[in-house]
Chains A and B, each alone.
Chain A
Amino acid sequence: MIGSAFWRTARRVFAIAFACFMLMPLTVILVVSFTNEGYVRFPPASFGLRWYKAALENSYFTGGFVFSLEVATFVAIVSGVLGIAAALVLARYRFRGREAIVSLLMMPIALPHIVLAIALLQVVATISVPSSPYGLVAGHLLITLPYVLRLTMASLAGIDRQIETASASLGASPWQTLRLVILPMIAPGAVAGILFAFLISFDEVTISLFTALPDRTTLPAEIFGFASHGSDPIVTAVSGVMILFAAILVIVVERFFGVLRLIANEDRPIE
């Protein structure tokens, strides 16, 4: 028999190795972004904030960042509203074609983004006004909606129907039950879904490239454009900003979300 001490050590080694594997590329980019040289090399020969300054003065990147924020915020809100509404109906009612609708809404997760992007390009080119971001937003909604839908449906599945019955017996209208009982109970799942939607939209490259407007495009698409022309360290600085931004968002929401989960998601009694 191999002792439990061995397995404890093995587990720890695996955990550390896995964390390194996940964090290595991010660390390399972050370190490189602080280079003071005019080329990308790891480790950098000298350190400085030169490229961060350059990135902040570059209107392509600042414009792209603002545009990405706008798109991601809009996409997160819209996919939140649509996803929660769809989940309420799909999780609550059994009707013909329900399974088909769920599969259809979940499908964009499985489809390669490039396929969606090409299809969208065709559609947008045929019907849309070229200077509006409808194609981009529609494409992002397609890929973010499944996350909100799936996470909200999972939360709803955990709610005992008798809780709604209890609410009604105490005098609540269906609308009051939704507002005072169901929405607070599914909030952790729905918030997680909306956060995913925001991050996915903020990070998305393929659809953004294909449906980009002539004058405005998202930050990841700008980075892609820059990176494909040469290895200017400015892209590492922009990447550093994006990493920092995503990390702050995840930490903030985890704080908020962690508290919510504590209140709403664990209703097992302590015996």
Chain B
Amino acid sequence: MNAYLELDRVEVSYGAVQALHPLTLSMQAGEFFCLLGPSGCGKTTTLGIVAGFTRAGGGRVLLGGQDVTMMPPQQRQMGVVFQNYALFPHMTAAQNVGYGLKLRKREAADIERRVNELLALVRLEGKGDRYPRQMSGGEQQRVAIARALAIEPRLLLLDEPLSNLDARLREEMRNELKRIQRTTGVTTIFVTHDQEEAFGAADRIAILNHGRLEQVGTPTEIYQSPRSMFVANFIGRSNALNGTLSAPGVFEVQGQRFACSRPAAGSSRSWVLFLRPEELKITRNPASTNSVRGTVVEVIYIGAIVNMRVKTDIGELLAYRLGTGGEPVAAGDAVQVGWEPGAGSLLPADAHG
């Protein structure tokens, strides 16, 4: 299967600052793809390249096999939803949605039918004659999505579309976006700095940092097998253990030796083992192959899970346990912290990020 959108060694620099190092990415038709990273990581720049707002300093952008690198944005037929929606304030919701169709010289009746269809899709039936200032943030967001979809875009580009909404609305709109994307089947790129949004919405995620691509994969791949220090630190919570591989399958931390069956890619003197808090088992007696003694510092009951901080010889460790079942543990208790040899991710300590 050929890729629908391909970025081929695309790069951008502003003066001496390299905003985007040569980036190669490809997306399949119909995919919900997410660009995730902290601010300044190059995700918005990448979106700008795809939309045609940002000029690539090198490389090519291929859309459906066609080279669009130099094509101006008005010819690309891409639906863009901006962070602040960028609705036209002097037009009603219906006029906003119909704008792209009017530019395409569609017949008035045709435009009206399509606008009503789209307003229904984003659940704004009957609100077409409202002006943006008469609508709530969530409603404006829906208008912006309908406007972007009206032109039957070859790609739907969403630039931090949820960050101006309050927490409750954000989750609702995220599910709406997924529903709309599934209904229309439009290939979508979603830019965000919020990993929960990315994991909740995307089929695949690309993680960017300092203008470089760190990793591309499904949410599961990225969470379970981070391939760089940055990704391991950025995604979710981890316990980072610095150590060495003193013998095959033996990971040594501050003189203590642990069995480790994770493959060590590459050669390095020092390594970091990233253990997710839910991979750690807290027991009274040693129960796993690997275990260290420790004292419980703090127990926080969140509901679904219990967070426990345990002080051990190899540092303080964070462990999660389901809120129900298991032996009750309180601060001050002497416990064993254990994990399986196959748990965690092993990364060379000198990897960038």
Secondary structure at the A interface, as helix, strand, loop or mixed, is helix
B88–A181 touching, CB < 8 Å: yes
* Option from A171, A185, A266, A267 in Cβ contact (under 8 Å) with B103: A171
Tell yes or no: A110 within 8 A of B by CB: no
* Cα A184 to Cα B132 with chains together (Å): 15
B103–A270 touching, CB < 8 Å: no
Tell yes or no: A170 within 8 A of B by CB: yes
**A266 to chain B: closest residue by CB:** B133
| A12-20, A35-43, A158-166, A241-249 - the one binding chain B | A158-166
For the complex formed, measure the closest distance between the CB of A193 and the CB atoms of chain B, giving whole angstroms. 18
Chain B contact patch, size range: 35 or more
B73–A168 touching, CB < 8 Å: yes
B133–A169 touching, CB < 8 Å: no
* Option from B88, B100, B132, B136 in Cβ contact (under 8 Å) with A171: B100
B103–A172 touching, CB < 8 Å: yes
* Cα A167 to Cα B147 with chains together (Å): 10
Tell yes or no: B74 within 8 A of A by CB: yes
A166–B86 touching, CB < 8 Å: yes
Tell yes or no: B301 within 8 A of A by CB: no
Contacts of B75 in A (CB 8 A): 171
Residue pairs across A and B with CB atoms within 8 Å: the count is 86
Contacts of B137 in A (CB 8 A): 269, 271
Contacts of A266 in B (CB 8 A): 89, 133
* Option from A166, A184, A270 in Cβ contact (under 8 Å) with B82: A166
Tell yes or no: B244 within 8 A of A by CB: no
B103–A263 touching, CB < 8 Å: no
Residues 80 to 113 of chain B near chain A (Cβ within 8 Å): 80, 82, 84, 86-90, 99-100, 103-104
Assess A162 versus B84: contact at CB under 8 Å? Given A171-B77, A176-B103. yes
* Cα A117 to Cα B136 with chains together (Å): 54
Contacts of A166 in B (CB 8 A): 80, 82, 86-88, 147
Tell yes or no: A268 within 8 A of B by CB: yes
* Cα A171 to Cα B84 with chains together (Å): 20
Contacts of A231 in B (CB 8 A): none
* Option from A171, A184, A269 in Cβ contact (under 8 Å) with B135: A269
A269–B86 touching, CB < 8 Å: no
A165–B74 touching, CB < 8 Å: no
A267–B84 touching, CB < 8 Å: no
Tell yes or no: A173 within 8 A of B by CB: yes
Tell yes or no: A264 within 8 A of B by CB: yes
* Cα A270 to Cα B148 with chains together (Å): 23
Residues 227 to 269 of chain A near chain B (Cβ within 8 Å): 263-264, 266-269
Which residue numbers of A lie inside 8 Å of B, CB to CB?
A: 160, 162-163, 165-173, 176, 180-181, 184-185, 263-264, 266-271
